Chains A and B, each alone.
Chain A
């Protein structure tokens, strides 16, 4: 399979397009949703005329999110697109109280193969309402699978798995990743959910990083290498399901754990990983785990204030040194 360098956004678009070609039940719904496919709205395929499988919607999140649930129960496989994750909150009941629960409530009768595809996160000076990471909120709701890729390669393979999954999947990109370039194979491949990826092997400390934080973690690891500290960077890739065994294996080797998560610290996914390791592998730990997450304040607009509260390379370096007592 030949590979070439494309952006994260392009890799996802390619996955959706290939899945649409593979399965006629795959549809795309959302506001200006041709953007999910990285298409030009004036392209003859879309130019201001109805497309049989691309449903461009009004600004009516509750309406079209619920409609995706209905369509899914009738056998379609909607990819529900939001330009920004926070737009989804205008349809919150449908997104959190309908989609992930209808299968369970129906005693297993309903099937909701929906992929919610959106981007969120800090670093873009978008201020409190637009800039935050939503995965902890959704991770608290049984019924979702949650995908947080950190590279274009992972994004394409995971999106294909997401579309083929018979359950609701939240596929979260990060604003800082959308333009990121990387090698991506042409054509079909999938990546299983619940399989972490060691982005960098090391022996002194395990650094679990989520989504765009993987890149920051790798940069911190390179800096720490120059100081004689060998960091293992582990990317869970999906947090529901979570590859606990991979994290346990790494911590058994290193004895130290730092988790980086671009979410507010209280009830962040870093908190969940920290609790899990403490509960299940306490004896492997040579020091308490440390979370590098966003401060518990709404995200401020001013660049100087935003930089103060988000996880940074420096904060990661400091956290690693502190667990190693160096």
Chain B
């Protein structure tokens, strides 16, 4: 878990670093996952091989938590032929069926009905699998949220809806856009359990996800989990950031990686030596990913005409 959280952060920091240092990389703008690492890792740790996820425009964290290779991710983000999607998708659309990643998605809330449908197939084919659907606080104000959760409930589907409440819809704060303080209370309307957890506490997230995943696998139906967290970077790339400084500072104190480190240290599972070693290994992995992406070939322009139809 600790390793994965560090990898996610290092990966998105490396993305940012590349854009800062090399203007020619500007095309590959990203929605950074920095600050939300405990949610992706806590949830995905509760999954087994064969389980699936749907992700969002801010999906790098979910993908790494599902075991995605930073090399192939970085290549995709740079539009290279070696990327997960052969350069066709870019940062917002990474897919790996092999790893159970049905797809990051560029449309807010679009993953909700897709995950519901995937869970329908899992039930129909008796696959004993679970689909986790990640979405943001904003998606909970979309029509598909109502439709998807209702369907999943009436059909008792093995799906877990994970709402990452990172407090903002681009520039609009959640309190201005949402009728309830805790999005999880909306679960009542769909006759499913709803729980709000501290999304920056990886163990709390894991605990909630574990029971929801087991409930789904047991055939009892879906759960709505709301993870309260905070997006550290601006919404996208170097977009202007209008959030109050005090607010950002207050969330910095709740940094999920720092908190988990403190926990591991207190429990005698981590010391400075181990920490340095792990950080060093991850830095190497990320550096190798950047190098791999940089050195990878661009796609052949004719590749643009492939994959339109099966």
In the complex, identify which listed stretch (A13-21, A55-63, A202-210) lies at the interface while the others stay far away.
A55-63
* A56 to chain B: closest residue by CB: B172
Q: Are A305 and B304 interface neighbours, CB within 8 A? A: yes
- Assuming A40-B242, A48-B173, A301-B93, is B304 touching A59 (CB within 8 A)? no
- A105 is an interface residue with CB less than 8 A from chain B: no
How distant is the Cα of A31 from the Cα of B172 in the complex, in angstroms? 8
- Assuming A59-B169, A60-B141, A129-B93, is B308 touching A308 (CB within 8 A)? no
Q: Are B79 and A305 interface neighbours, CB within 8 A? A: yes
How distant is the Cα of A129 from the Cα of B109 in the complex, in angstroms? 13
Contacts of B81 in A (CB 8 A): 302
Q: Are A58 and B28 interface neighbours, CB within 8 A? A: no
How distant is the Cα of A129 from the Cα of B170 in the complex, in angstroms? 18
Nearest chain B CB to A88 CB, angstrom units: 11
Number of interface residues of B (CB under 8 A): 41
How distant is the Cα of A31 from the Cα of B173 in the complex, in angstroms? 12
Contacts of B108 in A (CB 8 A): 59, 87, 90
- Assuming A48-B176, A302-B299, is B169 touching A58 (CB within 8 A)? yes
Residues in A263-317 with C-beta less than 8 Å from chain B? 295-298, 300-309
* A60 to chain B: closest residue by CB: B141
In the complex, identify which listed stretch (B10-18, B37-45, B82-90, B251-259) lies at the interface while the others stay far away.
B82-90
Q: Are A125 and B304 interface neighbours, CB within 8 A? A: no
Contacts of B305 in A (CB 8 A): 295, 297
Contacts of B138 in A (CB 8 A): 58-59
Q: Are A302 and B88 interface neighbours, CB within 8 A? A: yes
- A127 is an interface residue with CB less than 8 A from chain B: yes
Contacts of A87 in B (CB 8 A): 108
Q: Are B93 and A127 interface neighbours, CB within 8 A? A: yes
* B301 to chain A: closest residue by CB: A308
Residues in A54-77 with C-beta less than 8 Å from chain B? 56-63
Number of interface residues of A (CB under 8 A): 39
* A127 to chain B: closest residue by CB: B90
How distant is the Cα of A277 from the Cα of B35 in the complex, in angstroms? 57
How distant is the Cα of A59 from the Cα of B135 in the complex, in angstroms? 12
- A32 is an interface residue with CB less than 8 A from chain B: yes
Contacts of B105 in A (CB 8 A): 129
Q: Are B304 and A58 interface neighbours, CB within 8 A? A: no
* B85 to chain A: closest residue by CB: A301
Q: Which residue from A41, A63, A304 sits with its C-beta under 8 Å from B143?
A: A63
Nearest chain B CB to A59 CB, angstrom units: 4
Nearest chain B CB to A64 CB, angstrom units: 10
How distant is the Cα of A60 from the Cα of B106 in the complex, in angstroms? 16
How distant is the Cα of A41 from the Cα of B241 in the complex, in angstroms? 10
> What 3 pairs across the A-B complex have the smallest Cβ distances?
A302-B79, A301-B90, A302-B87
Q: Which B positions have Cβ atoms within 8 angstroms of A?
A: 27-29, 79-81, 85, 87-90, 92-93, 105-109, 138-139, 141-144, 169-173, 176-178, 242, 298-299, 301-305, 308
Q: 9 A-B pairs, CB-CB below 8 angstroms?
A: A32-B172, A62-B143, A129-B105, A295-B304, A297-B304, A298-B308, A302-B298, A304-B79, A305-B301
